[in-house]
Amino acid sequence: MSKQIEVIADQVLRWARTAGADDAEASVHESTEFSAGVRMGTVETLTEAASRGLQLRVFVDQRMARAGTSDLRPETLEGLTQRAVERARLANADPFAGLPEETGVVPETETLKLYDPALEEWSAAEKISLAQETERIGLNLDPRVNNSGGASFHVGRSRVWLVNTRGFAAGYRSTGCSLSLHLLGQDGDQQAQVSDYWFTAARQRSELETPEEVARRTVERVRRHLGARKIETQEVPVVFEPVLAAELLSDLFGAVTGNAIYLRRSFLVDQLGKKIAAEGVTVIDDGLLPGRLGTRPFDREGVASQRTVVIENGVLRNYLCGAYSARKLKLRSTGNGTGNGETPTNFYLAAGPHAPKEIIATVKQGLYVTRLIGQGVNLVTGDYSRGAFGLWIENGELTYPVHEITISGNLRRMMEEMEMVGSDLQFRDQIAAPTVKVSSMSVAGK
Amino acid sequence: MKPAPLEFFSAQHGIDPALLQRVLAEALGRGGDFADIYVEFRQSTSLLLEESLLKGSSESVSLGAGVRVIAGEQTGYAYTNELSLPKLLEAARTAAAIATGAGRSGSVELVARSLPSRYATEQPATQAEITGKMNFLRVADQAARAADARVREVRANWSDEQRQVLIANSEGQLVGDVQPLFTFGLSVVAEENGNRQSGSKNLGLRAGLEAFSVEDAQQLAREAVAQAAVLLTAEDAPAGELPVVLAPGASGVLLHESVGHPLEADANRKKLSVFSDRLGEKIATELCTVVDDATLPGLRGSLNVDGEGTIPQEPTVLIERGVLRGYLQDRLSARLMKMSPTGNGRRMDYSCIPIPRMTNTFLAAGTADPEEIVRSVERGIYCKAFSGGQVEPAVGKFTFSVHEAYLIENGRITKPIKGATLIGSGSEILQNIVAVGHDLVLDRGAWTCGKGGQAAAVGVGTPTVKIAKMTVGGRRAS
């Protein structure tokens, strides 16, 4: 019988102390996963497993080292811990290194709705048939949508336990499930194939979209690419649908982390209190929203989750910090620490007053973005340039699809020119946004 | 001779051929065409320097085994990170659930096969003293700051790993490999009059510590600084359709995305690629020969054996003088397509099912003089360094972010430009390759390819190449 993760974590802290660490932190997790991939009705892959792992940080005279392992046998853990302490002595002393001074009050995990026992009641056959059902419906909605990249269903369950030598000891369990579908379409043999996908993810079984819903959204997304044209290079307004606006937010996140700020690797360095975005832009990181995918009682350093207003009506109010970057910047940890940088909790652009249709209606000639590919974002300068697929907007209406284009601009200017924010915010993922309109970007085509 | 990993897993975890046979027999307990077990022990070290301080080091251990059962087109998979017999048998039974027939009787005799030796490792990096690796980061930091007073920040990192893998399958094969890999990288920020630009360089090889030196670290630091300095004077890239010349080496990532991914067998078998059912067809100009080669010694994508026991024996020719000749195969796709595995079935680690992946993929050398190629362009762009790319294999559309590029005006490389993105389709780009230089360079950069959530170390390469036209996404009308 394997040892409890609580017992393992405590033992590792004792070994770290014995080896000479001033402080140490250990985080242990145990998780199970199940995933089914189906394609053209057949089960392609079925994966099931349980795993455990441990992450350790040790501090000696303000010198830090870390270690991690999936092998939790005592002989492995003891050696790894001792070597970590020896290695810490070889690092440079860094007055900002260390565990968080205060971790705040950890919220009741029950109120956060991170765990759904209903997920365990799903039988393997039910889980497989959810994926099969989704694909089957999707392949029968439109004769032009006639090939599948597969549907998959995933369920995971995990429990983490975090302890440190300053007396922090807490854990929580969480669940997650997701259903996704990838379909392809073709309008006649001579035409180019098009492809798109859709997914739903949730902590609670009841929050997951139905197979019908996922299939319908996937088919809609695939068929709107059919018959795509190239367009001329021009400067036009660009409207991002919610999942694509969320990608912009994901880029923005990288620029507001304490780590990027103290290293001056962000176009938002030295901008606290300044107007950096349009009036309608309010961006929040909130780790306490019940049942959301980014919700958690505390971060990986044990600091309690909170709601942090990052941008308020266009004004930059806060950077998102872990203990280390907070000390460097003379700020407080916002509960985004990983011990090695920052992660978002639920990072989102707050909903605005405009219906998506109303936003599109304001555009005479412009682009509605439906897909972005590539990593052309430079956070140091804010320069932004990515490959795009979309729908052309003419006189306030979506018309034909366009492809082989890139959209470029500068994130700072795009934030300033985010002149309309939609009312359609949905928390599909840890990073979320409603429809947004940027008043002008360079669209390169022919 | 027994493979070294077999000695290791036998001594440390009691995993011997008899035990592996039992697990494989259990895996085929409900029928199934094929079963394998992949046992892995990975040790890795990483180091980070920032603000001229060695801020931390990390040691990681990853231990586990995955059991796979294939029945027709179906794959059952289970893994565990406890290598005890009961846990392994449990994983085998879980994986076996994919099959629904009668069990096979009798067990296979496992025969250990010897492997080629493609990564000479005199000084395994993972076992080496950490102080030497720390020194690489310190000298790189000093060299970068000494190279240019405008350098504000230097971030340098080192990582190395050693993977011991043992693979046994129901066809009686037993192989073990010890796979080294190291990566050195640094990125600098230079600042002048409020203009901040970054430059970065990295190097990754499947080799021992003897393949890297203090001088290499210093040289890469100076190159990263030079790149940031060039960008300080760069103008916005033009937008529109232009001829594009790719510099030799790292630009090979363009082939990786636009040609490599769409030629992976799984996508082709499922008709999810623009190149499905086109073997023997002319898909590129005659100047194009594209090869994937795991047998090259010591490169980042080099392999003695893939993640499912296939030993790459020779370079895999994907495109020969413009004609589509082959796909990147794993066992499953090869069997279903009635072709031979090419040794491209790779997996990120023991928790992952192997899938077709690239190793070292490059465009073979042509005959053109690189300077002539540039001279032939009246107005276009010259791409030297890319920060990444992505492809949609099903539709063949891809995009690349160019980090360092220059304008070509009247046959000469002139001003640096920034913020360029290239977009196009794989089939069109291959038809638009109008010149291939004789200067093939296999890049030593630390490229990591992602597919289906799995990361893989790969190599890229190309000679100087001219593409007649591509869409360049920049911010200035051209």
List Cα–Cα distances, B431 to A128, A176, B328, in angstroms: 43, 46, 21
Specify the CATH number for the domain of residue A140: 3.30.2290.10
Q: Please indicate whether, in this complex, the C-beta atoms of A46 and B75 are within 8 angstroms of each other.
A: yes
How many helices (H) and strands (E) in chain A? Answer: 11, 17
Q: Whole-angstrom Cα distance, residue A375 to residue B401? A: 6
Q: What is the mean pLDDT of residues A138-151?
A: 96
Give the whole-angstrom CA distance, residue B193 versus residue B233: 11
- The reply to whether A126 falls in a domain is yes
Residue finishing a domain among B199, B232, B265? B232
Domain boundary among B188, B212, B232: B232
Q: Which of A43, A96, A406, A443 to mutate to test the interface with B (most CBs of B within 10 A)?
A: A406
Residue B109 placed within a domain:
no
The answer to whether residue A375 scores a pLDDT higher than 80 is: no
B42 or A108: which carries more pLDDT confidence? B42
Judged against a pLDDT cut of 80, whether residue A412 lies above it is answered with yes
Among A189, A223, A257, where does a domain finish?
A: A223
Q: Residue A190 burial (CB < 10 Å; 0-12/13-18/19+)?
A: exposed
> Do residues B44 and B110 touch, judged by C-beta distance below 8 A?
no
Residue A344 counted as domain residue = yes
Decide if A312 touches B, using CB distance below 8 A: no
Among A155, A204, A174, A202, residue whose Cα is nearest residue A36: A155
**Cα-based angle B325, B331, B334 (whole degrees, multiple of 5):** 35
Q: What pLDDT, on the 0 to 100 scale, is given for residue A188?
A: 80
Same domain, B218 and B240: no
Q: Coil, strand or helix: which one is B175?
A: strand
CA–CA separation, A62 vs B15, rounded Å? 42
| Distant-in-sequence, close-in-space partners of B110: CB < 8 Å, separation ≥ 6 | B17, B20, B21, B168, B172, B173, B174
Rounded distance between C-alpha atoms, residue B247 and residue A337, angstroms: 41
Where do we find the tokens 């017999």? B85
The predicted pLDDT at position A193 comes to: 85
Count how many residues are written for chain B. Answer: 478
**Is it the case that residue B246 has pLDDT exceeding 60?**
yes
Domain range spanning residue B463? 236-477
* Residue B435: count of CB within 10 angstroms of its CB: 23
| Residue that finishes a domain, picked among B232, B253, B285 | B232
Of B46 and B258, the structure prediction assigns the larger pLDDT to: B46
What residues of B are in contact with residue A42 (Cβ under 8 Å)?
73-74
pLDDT at residue number B476: 66
When pLDDT is averaged across residues A348-364 and rounded to a whole number, the result is 98
For residue B420, what pLDDT band results from cuts at 50, 70 and 90? confident
Q: Are residues B200 and B314 in the same domain?
A: no
Q: Which of B97, B274, B425 lies nearest to residue A404, judging by beta carbons? A: B425
Contact A385 B198 (CB under 8 A): no
Q: What was the pLDDT predicted at B390?
A: 81
CA angle A375, B205, A71 (to 5 degrees): 85
- Chain B residue with CA closest to A92: the answer is B54
With cut-offs at 50, 70 and 90, classify the pLDDT of residue A244.
very high
A403 contacts in B (CB within 8 Å)? 395, 397
pLDDT at B108: 83
Residues A236 and A209 in one domain: no
Q: Are residues A213 and A272 in the same domain?
A: no
Interior/surface letters B193-221, b for 16+ CB within 10 angstroms, e for the rest: eeebbbbbbbbbbbbbbebbeeebbbebb
Predicted confidence band of residue B477 (pLDDT cuts 50, 70, 90): low
Give yes or no: residues A179 and A299 share one domain.
Answer: no
Listed residues A165, A193, A223: the one ending a domain: A223
Question: Does B239 sit within 8 Å of A43, measured CB to CB?
Answer: no
Q: What is the mean pLDDT of residues A387-397?
A: 95
Mean pLDDT of chain B: 94
Contact (CB, 8 A) for B141 and B68: no
Contact check, Cβ <8 Å, A65/B57:
yes
CA–chain centroid gap for A382, Å, is 20
For the stretch B35-78, pLDDT in tens is 999 999 999 999 999 999 999 999 999 999 999 999 999 999 99
A45, A380, A385 ranked by CB distance to B189: nearest = A380
Q: Indicate whether B282 belongs to any domain.
A: yes
CA-based nearest residue to B354, from B165, B181, B182: B165
Q: How confident is the model at residue A178 (pLDDT cuts 50, 70, 90)?
A: very high
Interface with chain B: mutation pick from A25, A380, A411, A441, highest number of B CBs within 10 Å? A380
What is the rounded distance in angstroms from the CA atom of residue A308 to the CA atom of residue B201? 36
How far from A404 is each of A167, A233, B199, B398, B472, CA to CA, in Å? 56, 11, 28, 8, 10
| Cα pseudo-dihedral A346, A349, A351, A357, rounded to 10 | -120
pLDDT at A1: 41
In which residue are the tokens 């070509």 written? B408
Q: What is the pLDDT of residue B439?
A: 98
Interatomic CA distance for residues B254 and B401, integer angstroms: 10
- A59 in any annotated domain: no
Q: Do B57 and A49 touch (CB under 8 A)?
A: no
> Backbone phi, then psi, for A320, in 5-degree steps?
-100, 120
Based on the fold, state whether residues B279 and B415 are members of the same structural domain. Answer: yes
Residue type, B21: Q
| Count of C-beta atoms within a 10 Å radius of residue B70 | 23
SS3 B68: strand
Let me know whether B221 and B349 are in one domain: no
Q: What's the average model confidence in pLDDT over B222-226?
A: 97
Q: Which residue of A has its CA nearest to B188?
A: A265
Nearest CA-CA distance, residue A145 and chain B, Å: 13
* Residue-wise pLDDT tens digits, B144-183: 999 999 999 999 999 999 999 999 999 999 999 999 999 9
Residue A324: inside a domain: yes
Which range of residues forms the domain containing residue A205? 109-155+173-223
Please report whether residue B180 resides in a domain.
Answer: yes
Q: Which of A309, A330, A313 is nearest to A256 (CA)?
A: A309
Would you state the structure tokens that stand for residue A273, as one six-digit string?
Answer: 């209190």
In this prediction, residues A212-237 reach a mean pLDDT of 95
Confidence (pLDDT) at B339: 95
For residue B325, pLDDT beyond 90: yes
Mean pLDDT over residues A6-32, rounded?
97
As for how many domains chain A has, the answer is 2
Distance, CA of A408 to CA of B6 (rounded, Å): 53
For range B434-446, the mean pLDDT: 97
Strand stretches in B218-354, DSSP E: 235-236, 238-246, 290-292, 316-320, 323-324, 345-346
- B97 chain-A contacts, CB cut-off 8 A: 46, 124
User: Considering the domain boundaries, does residue B427 fall inside one?
Assistant: yes
Looking at the structure, tell me whether residues B132 and B23 fall in a common domain.
yes
- pLDDT over 80 (residue A29): yes
Among A70, A403, A442, whose Cβ lies nearest the Cβ of B62? A70
Q: What is the pLDDT of residue B105?
A: 67
Q: Let me know if residue B250 belongs to a domain.
A: yes
pLDDT at B1 over 70: no
Task: List CB contacts (< 8 A) between A49 and chain B.
Answer: 78-80, 91, 94, 351
Nearest to B141 by CA among B130, B152, B131, B132: B152
Q: Are residues B213 and B338 in the same domain?
A: no
Residue A359 inside a domain? The answer is yes
CATH number at residue B162: 3.30.2290.10
Is A34 domain-assigned? no
> Do B185 and B264 share a structural domain?
no
Number of Cβ within 10 Å of residue B231's Cβ equals 25
Question: What is the C-alpha to C-alpha distance for residues B203 and B218, in angstroms, rounded to an integer?
Answer: 12
Average pLDDT over residues A250-270: 96
Q: Which of B131, B196, B353 sits opposite A264 (nearest CB)?
A: B196
Whether B106 has a pLDDT exceeding 90, the answer reads no
Whole-number pLDDT of residue A31: 96
Cβ burial of B113 (10 Å; 0-12, 13-18, 19+) is middle
What percent of chain B shows pLDDT beyond 70?
98
- Mean pLDDT, residues B263-280 taken together: 93
Question: Do A209 and A267 reside in the same domain of the chain?
Answer: no
Q: What is the pLDDT of residue B239?
A: 86
CA dist., res. A358 & res. B421, Å (int): 31
Cβ burial of B393 (10 Å; 0-12, 13-18, 19+) is buried
pLDDT at A2: 60
B-chain residues within 8 Å CB-CB of A265?
Answer: 153, 189, 198
The 3-state DSSP class for residue B204 equals strand
Minimum-distance CB partner of A373 among B61, B271, B390: B390
Q: How many domains does chain B have?
A: 2
Q: Does the residue A14 lie in any domain? A: no
Per-residue pLDDT averaged across B74-91, rounded? 95
What's the burial of B102, exposed, middle or buried (CB within 10 Å: 0-12/13-18/19+)?
exposed
Sign for the CA dihedral angle at A211, A216, A217, A218 comes to: positive
pLDDT score for B194: 87
**Shared domain check, A260 and A212:** no
Regarding whether B343 and B260 lie in a shared domain, the answer is yes
Residue range B197-221, pLDDT digits in tens: 999 999 999 999 999 999 999 999 9
